[in-house]
Amino acid sequence: MSQCDCNSQKESLESQVKGLKDLIEVAKAVVSTLDLDTVLQAILTSAMRFAGTPAGSVALYYDARRELSLHAHSGLTADFVKKERWEVTPGGLTEQVLLAGEIFYIEDTQQTPFFKNPIALKEGIRSLVCVPLVFQERIVGILYLDDFEPRCFDRDKLNLLSILASFAAMAIHNATLHKRTKLLAITDSLTGLHNHRYFKQYFRQEMARAKRYHKPFSIIMMDVDDFKSYNDSFGHATGDRLLELMGELILQTIRSVDVAFRYGGEEFIVLLPETRLDQAILAAERLRDSVQQGTAKRPVDGASRGVTVSIGVASYPDNADKMDELFNIVDSLLYLAKRRGKNKVYHQESLQIPKK
């Protein structure tokens, strides 16, 4: 064997060893945390560095809806990443990757007849690698690595990327499982709303945020009117189904930025970030009407009637500047509404109660 051949083999071996060392560092990064967003950003950053691309993204795949959801990106314009969810296009590149379940690459998009993604072409993407993230034969996401110049991709690195993809998919699975477990810990199993325990944590957090940024913050507290009578008339199983329906109606009525809780029994709370008292009163009226109309139109099995709710509304800083004071005020307003006729929304201004 000539000296040149020996040097060539040595260089090849050194390159492989370096690639494996890089891969180990990448693997460490992607399995070092259980926070899903952190995992996805670590996957993207590591893969871009490993493959030497200036841009990329990670999207999670939802098989039931055939939909992708963008969760991490780098090196791409705001216009390119503004669409956070999209369906798989029949015959498109992503569908080919999903069907094959293997790494797919394009070395020059302008010389590839089937590549017709107008958004990617407008972005100036000239070459890319699509890496399916597969866990237990199920694709959980796709890693996209992009370059703005045509290029030849190193086949050895592509092979190592497939190993990285296995680590990444496992990390995504573990992080998703952890996220679901955490969600179960803060969710009321009957209504699907957040539970009492999480309310106390979130209330404290949002109150502190409102003070720090000098933003308004409102709280709505509601109670099902005559719930004991409802249970006595139709049975506790029907009462439970009513509470399930309450959870649905509340989530259908509030904004995406509002957060709903089952406070206990038949009591519910909605926290409204950056919301003034007048806006919160309107939201409370929508909730009151939604419950009255919704439970009347959709009486649960075994019940011949719907229900109404009594509601209290209070806001920071209009009504109080301390968390305990604000809660006591909204609690008192709720019970005033119940004592004075039920199916009402009460707030301090309407009662002309002196502010604290």
Active site residues: 266
Q: Which residue(s) pair with 314 in the sheet?
A: 219
CB 258 within 8 A of CB 283: yes
- Separation of alpha carbons 122 and 116, rounded Å: 11
Q: Which DSSP category does 324 fall into?
A: H
**Greatest alpha-carbon span in the chain:** 100
Provide the 3-class DSSP secondary structure of residue 192: coil
Residue-by-residue DSSP string for 224-280: ETTHHHHHHHH-HHHHHHHHHHHHHHHHHHS-TT-EEEEEETTEEEEEEET--HHHH
Which of 265, 195, 236, 116 shows the shortest CA–CA distance to 203?
Answer: 195
| Dihedral, 188, 194, 200, 202 alpha carbons, nearest 10 | 160
- CB-facing half-sphere around the CA of 81: CA atoms within 13 A: 15
Provide the 3-class DSSP secondary structure of residue 102: coil
- Separation of alpha carbons 291 and 272, rounded Å: 18
CB 38 within 8 A of CB 178: no
